[in-house]
Chains A and B, each alone.
Chain A
Amino acid sequence: MEAIKKQHELVVSVSPHLKSEETTSRIMWTVSLSLLPAFISGAYFFGPRAVITTAICIITALLSERAFQKITNREDTISDGSAFLTGLLLGMNLPATVPFYIPIIGTVVAIVITKQLFGGLGYNIFNPALIGRAFVLITWPRAMTTWMKPDAAFMRFDAISAATPLGILKEEGLAKLLALFGDKLNLYTELLVGHRAGSIGETSVIALLLGAAFLVYKRYISLHIPLSFIGTVAVIAWLFGGKEGLFTGDPLIHIMSGGLMLGAFFMATDYVTCPSVKKGQIVFGIGCGLITMLIRLKGGYPEGVMFAILLMNCFTPLIDRNLRSKVFGFMKKEAK
């Protein structure tokens, strides 16, 4: 009785107000688990360097979170798994061949500056892993855009550098891309499997979809953001992606290459930094898609998923405020 009474006391808190038994830590660990297939495929294609880079990110994330909380006398929240997930996501967003100081500095920026300085989990404006990646991409552009050729060879430390499909598409065009992969069908299968140059965890579309399906089945993520994000990318790629004019682009290449799958399912859907209303999530997804394609087709970088999500993160409070669901019986009267 006492316990029930306590629950019914008025508590002023930020949204979401309805809470189930799903705790933060359970969600974080499940999301981490769902990234496992993509991580394994990354480790398979890019070898031990990929595993080491990701491990450095995770260890640095845990250490820097603990260190910051110790210095500032805050509660120890390492076990909620959010630092682990940030480290894992950042690691999977880096090329396998980066020098070891890059994951370390990127993770410190992600955890300390992006998350803890803003007040810890739940108060950060931007997705920490993406800010970490943006920081190292701008800081060491050369190392961050030198990709390794996927070789599927275990225990290989030397790497041949190769361009990503989007990089080739931007610099040399579709014909060169097709020449490299044989024919179109072969290109699609290679992209689906993940046998291409890119960041550790972004290449294998199948593995990412597997993890995403698990999350959707568990109802940890809804499909509003991923579908509107990917849909917008597809439409714009079809409309403007082709060299011969309107409606000649190839949406499949744009969907399956770059960091779109990883970004749309695992990073744009981050609870803290995406809108909480469904309508807002669709707006958020469309915005991400628009910015991504703007950067891919017109910008200086071949890939724009990261910047797109970060830019839309800024708009999250605005979207939430303006598309808040209406309370029954109140709005109509005022309108008249």
Chain B
Amino acid sequence: MTAKDIFKITANLVVIYVVGGLLLAFVYAKTSPIIFLKNKQEKEEALQKMMPNADKKGIIKLGDWYPHDKDAEYFVAKKDGKIIGYIVQTFAKGYSSYINILFSVGTDFRVKKIDILHSAETPGLGDEITLPYFKKRFRGKDLAHLKVVKKPSKEYIEAVTGATISSRAVTEDGVRKGLEFLIKALKKREVKHEQ
């Protein structure tokens, strides 16, 4: 390899890096504020959907928690300064993926709504947990009734046919554990406030 070769290779790399870097920097500068804004907007919309009654800007983050070592958040929802419920984000270990769940409860700790933010369960079977007919089954359930059964039931959560593992994950590993955590976390906060 001659000195000319070495010089040429260096020049090659420098030019490619500089040109590529400039191009990427330009695109990043243009797109990143939009991406950031849209991410934030989408999150707010998702939360608002969970608690339609709450004031705009009435949903305030309470803190982080770590189900299955993943970052999740929980929120309090207020209307005219009064607490009307809580929203918890959680992860459940499903059949073939971690299911990212958002659910809201009233002040009586009965489930109001749940939503599946992300899941990769088996198409046609496990992924029916994302359909409204299954999510509706959670309305009004409290801690004791968040249990999966395999037959039609009004009291408990009826599993999606053929997808017991995914249904159980959402119900017991996801929402029930999330609710247990929320109750515990709220108690801790109260103790702290009193002190």
Q: Do A and B come from one complex?
A: yes
Interface residues of A (CB under 8 A from B): 141-142, 145, 171, 300
Taking CB atoms, residues of chain A closer than 8 Å to B95 are 300
Are B164 and A141 in touch, CB under 8 angstroms?
no
Are A141 and B165 in touch, CB under 8 angstroms?
no
Are B165 and A145 in touch, CB under 8 angstroms?
no
Are A171 and B162 in touch, CB under 8 angstroms?
no
Q: Can you name the residue of chain A whose Cβ is closest to the Cβ of B150?
A: A171
B180 to chain A, nearest CB (A): 24
Interface size class of B (residues with CB under 8 A): under 10
Q: Can you name the residue of chain A whose Cβ is closest to the Cβ of B165?
A: A300
Q: Mark B85-104, 1 if CB is under 8 A from A, else 0.
A: 00000000001000000000
Taking CB atoms, residues of chain B closer than 8 Å to A171 are 150, 164
Taking CB atoms, residues of chain A closer than 8 Å to B125 are 141-142
Most buried by A among B95, B162, B165: B162
Cα distance A142–B164 when bound, in Å?
12
Cα distance A171–B125 when bound, in Å?
18
Most buried by B among A142, A145, A171: A142
Interface residues of B (CB under 8 A from A): 95, 125, 150, 161-162, 164-165
B186 to chain A, nearest CB (A): 35
Cα distance A145–B95 when bound, in Å?
17
Q: Can you name the residue of chain A whose Cβ is closest to the Cβ of B96?
A: A300
Are A145 and B164 in touch, CB under 8 angstroms?
no
Cα distance A145–B162 when bound, in Å?
8
A137 to chain B, nearest CB (A): 11
Taking CB atoms, residues of chain B closer than 8 Å to A300 are 95, 165
Cα distance A171–B165 when bound, in Å?
10
Sample (7) of A-B pairs whose CB atoms are under 8 Å apart: A141-B125, A141-B162, A142-B125, A142-B161, A171-B164, A300-B95, A300-B165
A301 to chain B, nearest CB (A): 11
Cα distance A145–B161 when bound, in Å?
10
Q: A142-B161, A171-B164, A300-B95 are in contact. List 7 more A-B contacts (CB 8 A).
A: A141-B125, A141-B162, A142-B125, A142-B162, A145-B162, A171-B150, A300-B165
Q: Can you name the residue of chain B whose Cβ is closest to the Cβ of A143?
A: B162
Cα distance A238–B165 when bound, in Å?
26
Taking CB atoms, residues of chain B closer than 8 Å to A142 are 125, 161-162
Taking CB atoms, residues of chain A closer than 8 Å to B162 are 141-142, 145
Q: Can you name the residue of chain A whose Cβ is closest to the Cβ of B124?
A: A141
A203 to chain B, nearest CB (A): 22
Q: Can you name the residue of chain B whose Cβ is closest to the Cβ of A142?
A: B162
Cα distance A142–B125 when bound, in Å?
9
Cα distance A300–B165 when bound, in Å?
8
B99 to chain A, nearest CB (A): 16
Taking CB atoms, residues of chain A closer than 8 Å to B164 are 171
Taking CB atoms, residues of chain A closer than 8 Å to B165 are 300
| 3 nearest A-B residue pairs (beta carbon) | A142-B162, A141-B162, A141-B125
Taking CB atoms, residues of chain A closer than 8 Å to B150 are 171
Cα distance A78–B138 when bound, in Å?
56
Q: Can you name the residue of chain A whose Cβ is closest to the Cβ of B161?
A: A142
Q: Can you name the residue of chain A whose Cβ is closest to the Cβ of B122?
A: A141
B96 to chain A, nearest CB (A): 9
Cα distance A141–B123 when bound, in Å?
12
A25 to chain B, nearest CB (A): 41
Q: Can you name the residue of chain A whose Cβ is closest to the Cβ of B125?
A: A141
Taking CB atoms, residues of chain B closer than 8 Å to A145 are 162
Cα distance A145–B165 when bound, in Å?
15
Cα distance A246–B50 when bound, in Å?
48
Cα distance A267–B125 when bound, in Å?
29
Cα distance A141–B161 when bound, in Å?
10
Taking CB atoms, residues of chain B closer than 8 Å to A141 are 125, 162
Cα distance A171–B159 when bound, in Å?
13
Q: Can you name the residue of chain A whose Cβ is closest to the Cβ of B164?
A: A171
Cα distance A228–B152 when bound, in Å?
43
Cα distance A141–B162 when bound, in Å?
7
Cα distance A141–B164 when bound, in Å?
13
Cα distance A284–B128 when bound, in Å?
38
Cα distance A145–B164 when bound, in Å?
13
Cα distance A142–B160 when bound, in Å?
11
A213 to chain B, nearest CB (A): 38
Cα distance A300–B150 when bound, in Å?
16
Cα distance A171–B150 when bound, in Å?
10
Cα distance A145–B125 when bound, in Å?
13
Cα distance A300–B169 when bound, in Å?
14
